[in-house]
Amino acid sequence: MEKSLKAVQVVVTAGDGIGPEVVAAGAQVLEEVASLYDLQVTQVERPLGGGSIDKFGEPCTDEVLQDALDADAVLLGAVGGPQWDDPQARFTPEEGVLRLREGLGLYANVRPVRVHDALLGRSPLRPEVVRGTDLVIVRELTGGLYFGRPKELRTVDGEPAAVDTLLYRRSEVERIVRHGFKWASARRGRLLSVDKFNVLVTGRFWRDIATEISRQYPDIEFSTMLADAFAAALVQRPTDWDVVVTENTFGDFLSDEAGVFTGSLGMLPSASLGDGPHALYEPVHGSAPDIAGDHAANPLATILSVALMFRHSFGLSQAATAIESAVEWTLNDGFRTRDIAEEGARLVDTQSMTAAVIARIEGPSTN
Ligand SMILES: NC(=O)c1ccc[n+]([C@@H]2O[C@H](COP(=O)([O-])OP(=O)(O)OC[C@H]3O[C@@H](n4cnc5c(N)ncnc54)[C@H](O)[C@@H]3O)[C@@H](O)[C@H]2O)c1
């Protein structure tokens, strides 16, 4: 049974660049859908990223982390920009997002990739190959090659060298694989676990644990694949996959690869989840400083992230589906921001795209 809340608090961290533009769109949709579905939402705006460094000297203050811990969900825009790129600087804006994810215990990054029929022409893949693509990549977010220690420059046999460490504890693999099964159960019932079983000890370890856990989910069609083979299969047969669970680094590459199929970064939502009640929802894209202030940002990735929030944090699947259907309908009606516009398209700005989606959101069915 899904839990459904009656009153929720959402911390909204707009961030930098186009962050405030797309988050304004997400916040409007949140407000609108909450009122349609009888949910009382309090939105609390908080600084994060570059703006927070400028004002408070750090990208995520203790107060912001505490507010996020006290909230039911966090909606994040994006952080970063050239003005904070100084390599000598004490902090980077991105460290603010990392602090939030770590502080909230979020170890699963979930990226749905859905190719809309209306945008088939924007995909780099042929329409007959990519039509119907609808998959979810569940990426381990807090362990693996990006976080293992040691991670340092050193001297080996008298010459400079560098080392990173790929380390996974059993509990880390178990919990992310279980997340994969949970997503597969809620979708089409298929889970693929991706590893490098043939050359990495961690790959063998990962596969053994995933296979062992799969026996507890007899209703899920479980399979495994090598990361390199899957990278190729993903472009050849993108419609073959339902839920894919994988290590941090592989998940980073593979989700970027799959994301390209949609035609624009501006179409990709994400959720970062853990075992606790906390969750962070954000578009996959960055702060796009090149278009910040132009009112050209595509708000759909953020709006679709709000849909994920309704489904996973508030237990309101019908509201989530209403948002996703409204996005589909808006695209079918020809509305396009610049990043997804083809010749002769109905070009709109961020705000008009948001208004078009809101106008198409349906309330709860009465039967
Ligand atoms: N989680 C985050 O906050 C996050 C994630 C990725 C990058 N970043 C940061 O964002 C900054 C810019 O990074 P980048 O340029 O490599 O990546 P980016 O995603 O910001 O932009 C890449 C390209 O996609 C376009 N784009 C991105 N989102 C769009 C949208 N919603 N609508 C229309 N076009 C869109 C941009 O204009 C740009 O041409 C950097 O400082 C980077 O560190 C932050």
% the chain with pLDDT above 90: 95
What is the identity of the amino acid at 201?
V
Helix axes 248-260, 227-236, angle to 10 degrees: 10
Given pLDDT bands bounded at 50, 70 and 90, which one contains residue 116? very high
Please write the tens of the pLDDT for every residue from 332-360. Answer: 999 999 999 988 788 999 999 999 999 99
- Residue 52 is encoded by which pair of tokens? 């927070």
Q: What pLDDT does residue 1 have?
A: 43
Instruction: Report how far ligand 1's centroid is from the alpha carbon of 44 (Å).
Output: 24
For residue 2, pLDDT beyond 80:
no
- Per-residue model confidence (pLDDT) at position 342: 87
List, for residues 249-301, the tens digit of each pLDDT value: 999 999 999 999 999 999 999 999 999 899 999 999 999 999 999 999 999 99
Known active-site residue 252: yes
Question: Which three-class secondary structure state does DSSP give residue 244?
Answer: strand
* Residue 146: active-site member: yes
Peptide bond into 59 cis (omega under 30): no
DSSP annotation of 293? T
Q: Kindly indicate the confidence band of residue 213, based on its pLDDT and cuts at 50, 70 and 90.
A: very high
Name every protein residue with a CB atom under 6 angstroms from any ligand 1 atom: 18, 22, 78-81, 94, 97, 265-266, 282, 285-291, 297-298, 301, 339
Is it the case that residue 157 has pLDDT exceeding 80? Answer: yes
Instruction: Name the percent of the chain lying above pLDDT 70.
Output: 98
Q: What is the DSSP letter of 299?
A: -
Provide the token pair at 96. 């603010």
Q: What are phi and psi of 363, to 5 degrees?
A: -75, 180
Nearest ligand 1 atom to alpha carbon 84? 41
Task: Please report where in the chains the tokens 């694949």 appear, as a residue.
Answer: 225
pLDDT at position 303: 98
User: The tokens 């970062």 sit on which residue?
Assistant: 272
Q: What is the pLDDT of residue 365?
A: 82
Ligand 1 pocket test, candidate residues 265, 281, 338, most atoms within 8 A of CB: 265
Residue 196 is among the residues annotated as catalytic for this protein: yes
Q: Is the dihedral of CA 92, 25, 9, 138 positive or negative?
A: negative
Whole-angstrom distance, CA of residue 355 vs CA of residue 295: 13
- Which position among 16, 72, 195, 252 bears the catalytic label? 252
Catalytic residue among 54, 67, 208, 256: 256
Ligand 1: residue of 21, 287, 295 to mutate (most ligand atoms within 8 A of CB) is 287
User: What is the pLDDT at residue 109?
Assistant: 97
Which pLDDT band holds residue 168 (cuts at 50, 70, 90)?
very high
Provide the total of helices (H) and of strands (E) in the chain, helices listed first: 12, 14
Q: What is the pLDDT of residue 3?
A: 54
DSSP assignment of 289-328 equals: TTTTTTT----HHHHHHHHHHHHHTS--HHHHHHHHHHHH
Reply yes or no on whether the pLDDT at 367 is more than 80.
no
Would you give the distance in Å from CA 84 to the centre of its chain? 23
How would you classify the pairing of strands 221-226 and 243-246? unpaired
Domains of the chain: 1-111+265-367 (3.40.718.10), 134-260 (3.40.718.10)
- Given a contact cutoff of 8 angstroms between Cβ atoms, the answer to whether 283 and 270 are in contact is yes
- Compute the radius of gyration of the chain from its Cα atoms: 20
The contacts of residue 343 (CB under 8 Å, 6+ apart) are none
pLDDT bracket for residue 5 (50, 70, 90): low
